Chain A
Amino acid sequence: MHAPDGFIDVPVSAAAGVLAAGAIAVSLRGARRELDDTARPGASGGAERTAPLAGLVAAFIFAVQMLNFPVAAGTSGHLLGGALAAILVGPYTGVLCVSVVLMLQSVLFADGGLTALGVNITTMAITTTVVAYALFRGLVKVLPRSRRSVTAASFVAALVSVPASAVVFTLLYTVGGTTDVSIGKVATAMVGVHVLIGLGEAAITALTVGAVIAVRPDLVHGARGLGQKLKLRVNGELVDAPETAEPVPAAARSPRKVWIAGLVTSLVLAGFVSFYASANPDGLEKVAADHGIDKQAEEHAVADSPLADYGVKDVDDARLSGGLAGVIGVGVTVVAGTGVFWAVRRRRAADERAEDTSPAGTSV
């Protein structure tokens, strides 16, 4: 997603550069405060903490972008890191670290144009970090104070931050793009692809934040409120027995809640978002139609099925029909998937019971 030189015209690049410079100036000031705040009581806090800590966090983001997460056979993705940085070390330090990574990528590895640096910082460092952090803060305030809600909030924050950066990029392209591709097309392609990327980013970010919270909750900027609660418990272990009794296990989340949340998200995406999606054919279909390539294309075997071409047959409103088709599709997928999963699990459980001759108490 690093924009090269010549992709956005000069005035808009310059404006984005000014915006990026301003944001970095503000972040330099803010990062001092953030890294100072996280100082443990014994450590000598001060402005000189900023450079080593922010530098090491930037190195971490640089490294973690190289960590490959396999998706399916052959394909894999990697983290962009804006949301993760914002939640782990705070928004100012996050903007600063991602910007430094982008700057060095452009100067050292020629990845992303020098004149497009302002655009790249605006979309990938500022937008992702600010959107993710604002959303995260809001959600943490609303949700009950627990580790699980921090993890859930980071999932949502990362999920939204990636398409948000695509939207900002589309806006910049609308104002200063050098080719007049229709904006609808750019927006559909960018946002569509980035919602998918955002799902991966969200899952990885939430898992990583969860892993850090389980070990060092004091290092997670977004979970400071939780850290103080834990400290109280340590001080008065005998006195605050009822408080202590509240379990804080690392994982052990109920699969049903995850299942329901996933189902609701898919339904919302399929039903509501596709309602607003463009009813025009997508780029490839359009190209095919323009060149008559699709004349030879045979009709698909289920072309007569009630859900053919992602619309419900007897519903006339294109959007409503598309939305309904999405919801029904999700439903069928979930039922089929759950059925298979359930069958496999039952068989495995049966096998285990048959093999298990050990005494009771070892069951998991």
Chain B
Amino acid sequence: MGAGHSHRLYRHGHSPVHALPPHTKLAAVLAFVIVVVSTPREAMWAFGAYAVLLAAVAYAARVPAGFLLKRLLIEVPFVAFAVLLPFVAEGERVDVLGLSLSVNGLWGAWNVLAKGTLGVAASVLLAATTELRELLHGLQRLRLPPLLVQIASFMVRYGDVITDEMRRMRIARESRGFEARGTRHWGVLAKSAGALFIRSYERGERVHLAMVSRGYTGVVPVIDEVAASRAQWSYALALPCAALVVCLLGWTL
């Protein structure tokens, strides 16, 4: 539990991006995504510029392109949705390769694809260069309510425990010859889910009592406070600032 664990998306390294304090990185990614989303979709070159900026960050963080591209697969459902847009949208239509497509729908598809991909890429880079615990500390430094951050950190810590519990229940079912094949078997699966809830809740009670007996009063003390220097802030915010310049150019040109 804790320090040694890292999540699946994290990629250990010692690059300058890894070394930045987590809250500066969080703020930078959030600002970058906001800038990207508010760029007009007609400025196609601007999105290319954003992609170049992200590629520069990936290079600085020594995250290989293959790793990044593989993680981008998470947005496949939206690609499917975006492909549908030109067919169903309203407005004037244009003929492409014998298909009548809506101009507006094409723009909409481009909009969702470009902005969604850039947003996912930025999040993936953040997750790849920041450890889970640091990320939670960063959220707390950004003035999220401490209780919310604590709940999130408990979820992160016990997520694997609960998932493993569920896996053991599945193995137990399967080793007794059960195989869920259709809606008839929902009852069994739902009973497992119910048992999982009871076990999770009771584990929560035990964890709480164990923590109280060790002096927990509702706040987790932060022992490794990381303050960001001005240089680190400006280094991290270079990304959204460059993006902002591109965005302003996109609006004016």
Q: Does B16 contact A (CB under 8 A)?
A: no
Interface centre among A43, A104, A106 (most CB of B within 10 A): A104
* Contact of A208 with B190 in the complex, beta carbons under 8 Å: yes
List of B residues within 8 angstroms of A350 by Cβ: none
List of B residues within 8 angstroms of A179 by Cβ: 85, 89, 104-105, 107-109, 111-112
Q: Does A69 contact B (CB under 8 A)?
A: yes
List of B residues within 8 angstroms of A132 by Cβ: none
List of A residues within 8 angstroms of B158 by Cβ: 55-56, 59
Question: In the complex the two chains form, what is the Cα distance from A100 to B157 in whole Å?
Answer: 13
By DSSP majority rule, is chain A's interface helix, strand, loop, or mixed? helix
The total of Cβ contacts below 8 Å across the A-B interface reads: 265
Given contact pairs A4-B120, A60-B162, A67-B166, A10 touches B127 in the complex (Cβ within 8 A): no
List of A residues within 8 angstroms of B118 by Cβ: 5
Question: In the complex the two chains form, what is the Cα distance from A108 to B22 in whole Å?
Answer: 13
Chain B 119-139 interface 0/1 with A at a Cβ cutoff of 8 Å (1 = within)? 110111011000010010001
Q: Does A212 contact B (CB under 8 A)?
A: yes
List of B residues within 8 angstroms of A71 by Cβ: 182-183
Interface centre among A54, A63, A178, A185 (most CB of B within 10 A): A63
Q: Does A7 contact B (CB under 8 A)?
A: yes
* Contact of A53 with B204 in the complex, beta carbons under 8 Å: yes
Q: Which of B196-241 contact A (CB under 8 A)?
A: 196-198, 200-201, 203-205, 207-209, 211-212, 216-218
What is the total number of residues of chain B having a CB less than 8 Å from a CB of chain A? 92
Q: A172: shortest Cβ distance to chain B, in Å?
A: 15
* Contact of B194 with A180 in the complex, beta carbons under 8 Å: no
List of A residues within 8 angstroms of B26 by Cβ: 107
* Contact of B78 with A69 in the complex, beta carbons under 8 Å: no
* Contact of A51 with B147 in the complex, beta carbons under 8 Å: yes
* Contact of A108 with B127 in the complex, beta carbons under 8 Å: yes
List of B residues within 8 angstroms of A100 by Cβ: 148, 151-152, 155
List of B residues within 8 angstroms of A43 by Cβ: 205, 209
Q: B172: shortest Cβ distance to chain A, in Å?
A: 14
List of A residues within 8 angstroms of B211 by Cβ: 48, 52
Question: In the complex the two chains form, what is the Cα distance from A96 to B124 in whole Å?
Answer: 25
Cross-chain contact of B193 among A5, A62, A204, A290 (Cβ < 8 A)? A204
Question: In the complex the two chains form, what is the Cα distance from A128 to B212 in whole Å?
Answer: 34
List of B residues within 8 angstroms of A50 by Cβ: 147, 151
Question: In the complex the two chains form, what is the Cα distance from A178 to B133 in whole Å?
Answer: 36
Residue of B nearest to A27 (CB): B148
Question: In the complex the two chains form, what is the Cα distance from A287 to B34 in whole Å?
Answer: 35
Given contact pairs A5-B118, A48-B212, A66-B163, A115 touches B181 in the complex (Cβ within 8 A): no
* Contact of A52 with B154 in the complex, beta carbons under 8 Å: yes
Cross-chain contact of B180 among A69, A212, A283 (Cβ < 8 A)? A69
* Contact of B104 with A67 in the complex, beta carbons under 8 Å: no
Chain A 26-70 interface 0/1 with B at a Cβ cutoff of 8 Å (1 = within)? 001000000000000001101111111111111110111011111
Interface centre among B87, B126, B127, B147 (most CB of A within 10 A): B147
Question: In the complex the two chains form, what is the Cα distance from A53 to B120 in whole Å?
Answer: 31
List of B residues within 8 angstroms of A79 by Cβ: 193
Q: B223: shortest Cβ distance to chain A, in Å?
A: 18
Question: In the complex the two chains form, what is the Cα distance from A8 to B21 in whole Å?
Answer: 31
* Contact of B119 with A5 in the complex, beta carbons under 8 Å: yes
Question: In the complex the two chains form, what is the Cα distance from A28 to B144 in whole Å?
Answer: 12
Q: Does A353 contact B (CB under 8 A)?
A: no
Q: Which of A184-223 contact B (CB under 8 A)?
A: 185, 203-204, 207-212, 214-216, 219
* Contact of A63 with B196 in the complex, beta carbons under 8 Å: yes
Residue of B nearest to A14 (CB): B34
Q: A53-B208, A63-B166, A181-B89 are in contact. List 20 more A-B contacts (CB 8 A).
A: A6-B36, A44-B212, A52-B211, A55-B155, A56-B162, A57-B197, A62-B162, A64-B193, A64-B196, A66-B163, A71-B182, A96-B148, A97-B155, A110-B71, A110-B75, A110-B120, A110-B123, A114-B119, A207-B190, A215-B195
A interface list, Cβ under 8 A from B: 4-7, 10, 13, 24-25, 28, 43-44, 46-60, 62-64, 66-72, 79, 88-89, 96-97, 100-101, 103-104, 106-111, 113-115, 178-182, 185, 203-204, 207-212, 214-216, 219, 283, 286-287, 290-291
Complex A-B: 19 CB contacts under 8 Å: A6-B36, A6-B112, A6-B114, A6-B116, A48-B211, A48-B212, A48-B216, A51-B147, A53-B208, A56-B162, A57-B197, A60-B201, A64-B197, A110-B123, A179-B104, A179-B108, A179-B111, A210-B190, A286-B88
Which 6 pairs from chain A and chain B are nearest by CB? A55-B154, A6-B115, A179-B108, A211-B194, A207-B190, A5-B119
